[in-house]
Each structure stands twice: as C-alpha cells, then as structure tokens.
Amino acid sequence: MATAIQAAAHAGGPTSHTLNQPDGLDFEDAVRAAEKARIALTGPSGSGKTYTALSIGTGLLPDGGTLGVIDTERGSASKYAGLFTFKTMKLPSFEPQALIRALAVAAARGIDVVVIDSLTHFWSGRGGALAQVDQKTRAANSKNAFTSGWKDVTPLLHDMLDAILAYPGHVICTMRVKTEWVLQENQNGKKEPTKVGMKLDQRDGIDYEFDLVGALDQNHVMVVDKSRYPTIEVGSQHDKPDFAFGQMIAGWLDDGEGSALGVMDFARLAVDPAMTPQQLLDLLSDVENRGLLGAAVLDLGKQATSLGSLIRLMGSAARAKDPATTPDDLRALRIRMEQAGRIGALVPGMDGEPTPLGDLINFVQTTRHNSSEQGRRDDAGRTAAA
C-alpha cells in the first residue's frame, strides 16, 4: 500500500486511497445487493429444457408471483399447463426487436419470472439475427456480411441482451445445442448410439452473460457449466432439477442488501408530467449507474423502447415545456427529434395527457408567439395612451 501511495504522490494525485476524487472516481466498500436470477439452460432436443425451466422458474417465484413464458417452440410449454401455473406469449417471428417488445410487455404486466423458450430462435430462427444479416447483405449487393450485415445487426443483438439482463425479474433462457450421434458405452458395458450436444446454437460467448449455465442431457441430468452462486458448484450434477433448486437460488439472491432492479419505478417516474429537465437528467444518471439503460419498457404509445431512451424522450418534452427554453432552443429541439424519428412519439402534454411531441412543441411555440404579440400590443396601447 505504501508503494501505491508513493506512486500516486509522484503522479501528482492524492496520497490517500480513501480521499474522494473530483470526478467521483473512488473505491467504496463492496456490498452484495439483492439480485434477480439470470439462468441459461442448454441441451439437445428432448433433454427437458422447457420442463426444467418451468420447474426452476416455479421455485424462483415469490409468494403470489407470476411466471410467464415467451414461447418460440410452437406452444410446447403449454403442454405442461396442467403441471405448472403460468402465462404464455407466442411469437410468430423471431427478430431480436420482437423479444425486446415481449420483455417490455412482460415488465408492464408484472411478470416476476420470465422463461425465454428458446433464445436460439432469435439467433437462427425465422427473422432472427442470422436471417437479418443475410437479408441486409443481399440488399446491399455485397458479398461481405461483416461490412454490410453485421454492422447493422450487432447493435440489435446488444440491445436484446441489454433488455434480458436489465429485466426487473428473474430470467431463464433455454438454448439449443447442435447434436451428433456418437457411440457411447452403456451401463452394461456395450456400445450404443447416443445423441449428444456438441455446440451451442447461439452467438459465441453469450453464456458469459448468465450467472448460472446448466447443460442437460437426454436423461434430464443437468451439469453446471458455470455458476456465480456459492450454493451451486461448477461441475455439480443435478438429476431432474425441480422447484427446490429454484428456491435454493432465490434464497441466496434475496439475502442481499437493498432492493433489486427498479425498472418500472424508474419508468413511472420518467413519464410523470411534473418531472423537470434537471430531475430527468438526475434520473438518467441514476439509471445509468445501476446498469439499467437498456431495460425494455413500453412508452406512452405502448411501443417498446429502452428505459434510457424513454427518459431522454421525456427530458425533451420537459425542455419543451420549460419557460427557460428559448425559441431558438425549441426550433433546434424540433429538428433533433425529426432527425431521430421521435417527433410523433407520445409525451405528457401541458395538461399531462399523452400528446405527440411535435404537437407539444407547436403548442408551446404558438402560445409564446401569441403571448409575445399580445405584449407588444399592450405596450403600444400604453404608449399611445401616454
């Protein structure tokens, strides 16, 4: 420590590791906050991914909570409706944007545990990332997918992942693996053909984003490939994980300090007509510090957007209504919103009711112009009377 302090002194910096920095950069005591589960279940077809996700998800539920399934598997989860209680949403196509909207709807409906069954479809399914890359590459008359396809699709994948990780509840994703038939020795010592998972059918490295990754085999045994939970060891095997497995995870997660994600609280604050531009800037900073800018929410028009985008939009509306905003600033604001394609987005109007941002700006400009004209007429009248 002495060496570090001396080095800081020679660099012209503070010599105390506890001294607050002018830019706010400093160390603080680490605290384990209450969190939500981020679980990935992988396995070949028939390994029990959907059933296991429903079992673990049921165990994660708080008292009176709701389990929801975003179903891309042609309603396969609904086959277990007699065994589990849950709500389901079936998606006809699998654009990453569709999953973002589904998560926004789930958050608005107060779904406590979301099962995405399966995440693979948003990678390699109809309308998924790979299909979009091919489409954009062909449309650009290019043979180079990295310059004409991925540069557009990669940001969509990042937005989708942000929406998953910032969801205000527990999330369980199932993912397929590409399979092969291999000869394996059975319990009797004889060789028999067995279907095994070989490679995850998903973008490389996505498993790094989850706190727990479990690989299921054809016997429904789950091997833990990754775990950030001290109660579950990497390499441990779990035969047909059930709701008790989910309860164990929930117990550890709930033992943290403070409250977990507050996405919907932030969204409700953002659309409060009484919020000032400065209050919305402070809110944006708080959301950024919590890593929630990418959380999927619904705007006033019931369209999916990110929490960060919603707060910025509401900030634009608040600036339009702010008496300190000059006519030049209003014109510049209109131009920016037109260029961003947000001029028709709904925001709280002068009466607090949803109104298109463009109409709000028009109303403010017209009102101020009329007020200015009336002021000039009144001044002229007083001058004439004098």
pLDDT of 208-262, one tens digit each? 999 999 999 989 999 999 999 999 999 999 999 999 999 999 999 988 776 554 8
Is residue 17 one of the residues assigned to a domain?
no
Which pLDDT does position 325 carry in this prediction?
Answer: 94
Question: Of the residues 254, 271, 290, which one is the last residue of a structural domain?
Answer: 254
Indicate whether 43 and 144 sit together in one domain: yes
For residue 5, being part of any structural domain is answered with no
Is 342 domain-assigned? yes
Domain total of the chain: 2
Question: Of 200, 223, 254, at which residue does a domain stop?
Answer: 254
Q: Percent of the chain beyond pLDDT 90?
A: 63
Higher pLDDT, 173 or 31: 173
- On the CB side of 117, how many CA atoms lie within 13 Å of its CA? 27
Give the mean pLDDT of 157-171. Answer: 95
> Which helix (H) or strand (E) is 49 found in, with range?
helix 49-60
Residue ending a domain, choose from 254, 277, 311: 254
Q: Which domain holds residue 187?
A: 38-254
pLDDT at 379: 67
Q: Are residues 314 and 359 in the same domain?
A: yes
In this prediction, residue 320 has a pLDDT band, given cuts at 50, 70 and 90, of: very high
Q: What is the mean pLDDT of residues 79-101?
A: 94
- Whether 50 contacts 119, CB under 8 Å: no
> Are residue 212 and residue 315 in the same domain, yes or no?
no
Distance, CA of 311 to CA of 280 (rounded, Å) = 7
Strand partners, 43: 176
Query: Which residue in the block uniquely carries the two structure tokens 């002021």?
Result: 375
Tell me the mean pLDDT in the region 365-379.
Answer: 78
Q: How far apart are alpha carbons 184 and 201 in whole angstroms?
A: 23
- Pair 245, 273 in one domain: no
111 contacts 171 by C-beta, under 8 angstroms: no
310 and 216 housed in the same domain: no
| 127 and 243 fall within a common domain | yes
Q: Are residues 186 and 289 in the same domain?
A: no
Residue 46's CB is within 10 A of a number of other CB atoms, namely 12
Whether the per-residue pLDDT at 308 is higher than 80: the answer is yes
Residue 4 domain flag: no
Examine residue 8 and state whether it is found in any structural domain, yes or no: no
Local confidence band at 75 (pLDDT 50, 70, 90 cut-offs): confident
273 lies in a domain?
yes
Query: Distances in Å between the alpha carbon of 55 and those of 76, 113, 175, 240, 247?
Result: 15, 11, 16, 9, 10
Q: Say if 303 falls within a structural domain.
A: yes
Residue 346 and residue 268 in one domain: yes
Sorted by sequence, the CB contacts under 8 Å of residue 184 that are 6+ apart come out as 191, 192, 193, 194, 196
Average pLDDT of the residues of the chain:
87
Query: How do residues 1-23 score in pLDDT, each as one tens digit?
Result: 455 445 444 544 444 444 556 66
**CATH code assigned at 159:** 3.40.50
Q: Assess whether 302 and 353 both reside in one domain.
A: yes
Q: For residues 196 and 45, give the distance between their C-alpha atoms in angstroms, rounded to a whole number.
A: 10
What backbone torsions phi and psi does residue 248 show, to the nearest 5 degrees?
-65, -40
Q: Which amino acid is at 348?
A: P
Distance, CA of 98 to CA of 91 (rounded, Å): 8
Q: What average pLDDT does this structure show over 305-320?
A: 96
Q: Are 220 and 275 within one domain?
A: no
Residue 122 and residue 160 share a domain: yes
- pLDDT attached to residue 385: 65
Is residue 151 pLDDT above 90, yes or no? no
- DSSP for 211-256, please give it: SEEEEE-TT-EEEEEEE--TTS-TT-EEES--HHHHHHHHHHHHTS
Q: Please say if the pLDDT value at position 185 is more than 90.
A: no
Residue 14 lies in a domain: no
For residues 198 and 273, membership in a common domain is answered with no
Between residues 289 and 279, the one the model is more confident about: 279
